[in-house]
Chain A
Amino acid sequence: MARAVTNQRKAINTAAAWIIGLLIFFPILWTILTSFKSEAQAIADPPIFLFFDWTTENYSTVMERSNYARFLWNSIFIAGGSTILGLIIAVPAAWSMAFVPSRRTKDILLWMLSTKMLPAVGVLYPIYLLFIQFGLLDNVYGLTFVLMLINLPIIVWMLYTYFREIPGEILEAARMDGAGLREEIFFVLTPMALPGIASTLLLNFILAWNEAFWTLNLTAAKAAPLTAFIASYSSPEGLFYAKLSAASTMAIAPILILGWFSQKQLVRGLTFGAVK
């Protein structure tokens, strides 16, 4: 039950929360603002917050110079491809575990989770070697496949927790109504789990988009996504704040927007359903 709170107390809460919230958000805000400054104004002392000469020239410079579109496309392809591929493999698996549990289901789920915890650096060289062997180095398909495998446990887990909330009786009703397995999954389960499937898709897209170990180590010029594009600004371009900011803004903006949509479902996905 929400209790009546004095407006004064509410005002204090509001002020405190907004100050802290803005402080936490500030680096992002500052980056976005800086991306619209000229290089000179970007390093001005004292710093200029809002009253500078707004310009979009940094964006055009960055796009011209670094073939931003290709990095962006690689990011979209890798993140989107790995997520969709993962869903195709995970939906049947999650159906099995949620609705036909056996004594081993729990062990299989936990084992899947444990593969997620394998430190990437421990298997870097073998993967590197295998990629060279199969000609997958600096190849978007190879990277898509690896990121799919990395996120597969999370996808299975998220779907599993969503599916478990669907009463088994409804699927049994479908069976009694004459639905086969395929009809049961397509006509009943999938539409009912659509919100869950959508948030699984969203979260894993974000995770794949931001993944920065394999994307940095398994790509060079051709298949590099935005993570690598930004890393290339490390130096000396990093000293050009306005351009760095423009590049950064372009790399994070799409995901920031998607992320805000998915925040409600985020917790469950990130804690494997342990916190809801």
Chain B
Amino acid sequence: MGQITLENVTKSFGETQVIPPLDLDIQDGEFTVFVGPSGCGKSTLLRLIAGLEDITSGTIRIDGTDATDIPPAKRGLAMVFQSYALYPHMSVRKNIAFPMRMAGIDAAEQERRIEQAAAALNLTDYLDRRPGQLSGGQRQRVAIGRAIVREPAAFLFDEPLSNLDAALRVGMRLEISELHKRLATTMIYVTHDQVEAMTMADKIVVLRAGHIEQVGSPLELYRNPRNTFVAGFIGSPKMNLIEGEEAARNDAHTLGIRPEHIDVSATEGAWHGKVGVAEHLGSDTFFHVHETGLAETITVRAPGEVNFRHGDTIYMTPRSEQLHRFGADGLRIG
């Protein structure tokens, strides 16, 4: 079981309030991702749930029990840290055994769980090494192994992939997702990378300055961003946000259109501009278009075979059913 409820939770460091009153419900077995730019309070929120920081006011419930004053060691949660936080003086085996040793689990059971976790995480050959002798990805797996053997109510991940290189990150992303499918345990995952959020989450919580901007499934957030911040944050490349005359014609303060929802042509279209940089990914090509009179740059996605060169004039037509309209307060209209 791992249902976590935050009621009216706030956190202040001295005079500065980093988390204004906040409510959040995380269902048992859900993969929840906290995402937001750096300094948005997502890590603080995770640490509050972990118990590594006191909340200033409010209540945290884990499976219905008030956990607000329970020390981290007793909350039954496991955490994977950004730096992995492995014990450098212990072998991999001892690292994984440590939480069980603290819990007083008998040796045979410890051994059984270690073997099981090691097999699942491809660590069997490395059990007697020290963390210092492992690669980044292997360390990451040890950290996850150490979390698994506790059989926690929920896993907390604090930007666990940010120290890995790009290729490994994709692989580990899949592994963590698979782990979640297999264990079906609640996971809370903090990241600043919206791609990780989109690909892994059942539920995304977008945070800015301690505020929850929107909660929803990845596709909900992609299709119906509640405001311009979420619109700009979710999706890659970013949604084009257009203000001024063009927006006013659509009865909006800001008009949003994703690069993939714009059709391009060399001859005709609603908008036009000059091609700046073209990024060829093979399957797709992204054109960064200037001098459109709409915004400084409009990004459009076209199939890989479409070719415009630097300085060419490009015509663009947004698909009207995919236009997002936002009011002056940044909130979505309609």
Q: Which residue numbers of A lie inside 8 Å of B, CB to CB? A: 167, 169-170, 172-180, 183, 187-188, 191-192, 194
CB-defined contacts of B88 to chain A, threshold 8 Å: 170, 192
Within 8 A of A (CB), among B83-97: 83, 85-89
Task: List the 4 closest pairs (A to B, CB-CB), nearest first.
Answer: A178-B102, A177-B99, A173-B85, A169-B85
Partner of B85, one of A167, A180, A191: A167
Closest CB in chain A relative to B147 CB, distance in Å: 8
Beta-carbon contact of A170 and B87 below 8 Å: yes
Q: Which of A177, A180, A192 is close to B146, meaning CB atoms less than 8 Å apart?
A: A177
A176 B78 Cβ-Cβ under 8 A: yes
* Contact in complex: B83, A176 (CB < 8 Å): no
| 14 more A-B residue pairs beyond the given contacts A173-B146, A176-B52, A179-B73, with a C-beta to C-beta distance below 8 A | A170-B86, A172-B50, A173-B81, A173-B86, A175-B71, A175-B72, A175-B73, A176-B77, A176-B78, A177-B102, A178-B99, A179-B98, A187-B98, A192-B89
Shortest Cβ distance from A103 into B: residue: B14
Residues of B within 8 A of A183 (CB): 102
- Complex-state Cα separation, A155 to B206, whole angstroms: 47
The residue of chain B having its C-beta at the shortest distance from the C-beta of A194 within the complex is: B89
Residues of B within 8 A of A170 (CB): 85-88
Residues in chain B near residue A180, CB distance under 8 A? 73
The A-B contact count (CB < 8 A) is 62
Q: Which residues of A contact B103 (CB under 8 A)?
A: 178
Chain A residues whose C-beta falls within 8 Å of the C-beta of B27 in the assembled complex: none
> For A176, what are the chain B residues with a Cβ–Cβ distance below 8 Å?
50, 52, 72-73, 77-79, 99, 156
Contacts of A175 in B (CB 8 A): 52, 71-73
Judging by beta carbons under 8 Å apart, are B98 and A174 in contact?
Answer: yes
Q: Is the CB of B83 within 8 A of A169?
A: yes
A179 x B102 contact (CB < 8 A): yes
**Which residue of chain B is the closest to A193 with respect to CB atoms?**
B89
Q: How far is the CB of B99 from chain A (nearest CB, A)?
A: 4
* B82 lies within 8 A of A191 (CB): no
Does B113 sit within 8 A of A, measured CB to CB? no
Contact (Cβ within 8 A) B102 A173: no
CA distance A170 to B271 in the complex (A): 55
Q: What's the minimum C-beta distance from B266 to chain A, rounded to whole angstroms?
A: 53
